[in-house]
A and B are shown apart, each in its own frame.
Chain A
Amino acid sequence: MSKYTEDDLKKELETKEYEYGFYTDLESETFPIGLNEDIVRAISKKKQEPQWMTQWRLDAFKVWKSMQEPQWANVNYKKPDFQAIAYYSAPKAVDPNKTLDDVDPELLAMYKKLGISVDEQKKMNNVAIDIVVDSVSVATTFKKTLSEKGIIFMSISEAIKEHPELVKKYLGTVVPTKDNFYASLNSAVFSDGSFCYIPKGVRCPMELSTYFRINQAGTGQFERTLLIADQGSYVSYLEGCTAPSRDENQLHAAVVELIALDDAEIKYSTVQNWYPGSAEGKGGVYNFVTKRGLCERNAKISWTQVETGSAVTWKYPSCILKGDNSIGEFYSIAVTNNYQQADTGTKMIHLGKNTRSTIISKGISAGKSQNSYRGLVKINASAENARNFSQCDSLLMGNECGAHTFPYIEVKNKTAKIEHEATTSKIGEDQIFYCNQRGIDTEKAIALVVNGFSKEVLNKLPMEFAVEAQKLLEISLEGSVG
Chain B
Amino acid sequence: MLQIKDVYASVEEKDILKGISLSVNAGEVHAIMGPNGAGKSTLASIIAGKEEFELTKGHITIDGEDITELDAEERAHKGVFLSFQYPVEIPGVSVTNFIKTAINENRKAKGLKDMPASEMLKKIKEKADLLEIDRKFLSRSLNVGFSGGEKKRNEIFQMAMLEPKLAILDETDSGLDIDALKVVANGVNKLKNKDNAVIVITHYQRLLDYIVPDFVHVIMDGKIVKSGTKQLAYELEEKGYDWIKEELV
Binding site for B on A (CB under 8 A): 428-431, 433-442, 444, 448-449, 451-456
Contacts and interface: CB of A to CB of B under 8 A. Distances in A.
B28 to A, nearest CB: 22
Nearest to B107: A439
A456 B93 CA distance: 11
Given A436-B71, A437-B72, A449 B93 contact: yes
B102 A452 contact: no
A434 B93 contact: no
Nearest to A434: B88
Which 5 interchain pairs have the tightest Cβ spacing?
A452-B92, A436-B72, A452-B93, A439-B76, A438-B102
B76 A453 contact: no
A456 B92 CA distance: 8
A437 B48 contact: yes
Contacts of B158: 438
B11 interface: no
B48 A431 contact: no
B84 A434 contact: yes
A449 B90 contact: yes
B162 interface: yes
B15 interface: no
Given A429-B52, A434-B84, A440 B92 contact: no
B101 interface: yes
Contacts of A451: 92-93
A439 B73 contact: yes
A434 B90 CA distance: 10
Contact of A440 (B48, B80, B82, B102): B102
B92 A453 contact: yes
A439 B92 contact: no
Of the candidates A429, A431, A434, A453, the one having the most CB atoms from chain B within 10 angstroms of its own CB is A434
B183 to A, nearest CB: 22
A455 B92 contact: yes
A281 to B, nearest CB: 29
- A contacts with B: majority SS: helix
Contacts of B191: none
A436 B90 CA distance: 13
B88 A439 contact: no
Contacts of A438: 76, 98, 102, 105, 158, 162
Interface residues on B, range: 20 to 34
Of the candidates A433, A439, A449, the one having the most CB atoms from chain B within 10 angstroms of its own CB is A439
Nearest to B88: A434
Contacts of B76: 436-439
Given A439-B105, A452-B92, 18 more contacts: A433-B50, A433-B88, A434-B87, A434-B88, A436-B49, A438-B102, A438-B105, A438-B162, A439-B76, A439-B77, A440-B73, A440-B102, A440-B105, A441-B73, A444-B101, A448-B97, A452-B141, A454-B92
14 contacts: A429-B51, A433-B51, A433-B72, A433-B88, A436-B76, A437-B76, A437-B80, A438-B76, A439-B76, A439-B106, A441-B105, A444-B105, A452-B92, A452-B93
Interface in B160-175: 162
Contacts of B50: 433
B91 interface: yes
Contacts of B93: 448-449, 451-452
Given A444-B101, A448-B101, A436 B92 contact: no
Nearest to B76: A439
A363 to B, nearest CB: 15
Contacts of A430: 88
A438 B105 CA distance: 9
Interface in B31-55: 48-52
Interface string B48-76: 11111000000000000000000111001
B178 interface: no
A21 B92 CA distance: 44
Given A451-B93, A453-B92, A437 B105 contact: no
Interface in B78-133: 80-82, 84, 87-93, 97-98, 101-102, 105-106, 109
Contacts of B101: 440, 444, 448
Contacts of A449: 90, 93
B88 A428 contact: yes
Contacts of A454: 92
A444 B71 CA distance: 14
A453 B84 CA distance: 23
A452 B52 CA distance: 25
A107 to B, nearest CB: 26
Interface string B139-179: 00100000000000000001000100000000000000000
A132 to B, nearest CB: 34
Contacts of A444: 101, 105
A436 B73 contact: yes
Nearest to A444: B105
Nearest to B168: A437
Contact of B98 (A436, A448, A455): A448
A442 B91 CA distance: 17
Contacts of B77: 439
A2 B123 CA distance: 84
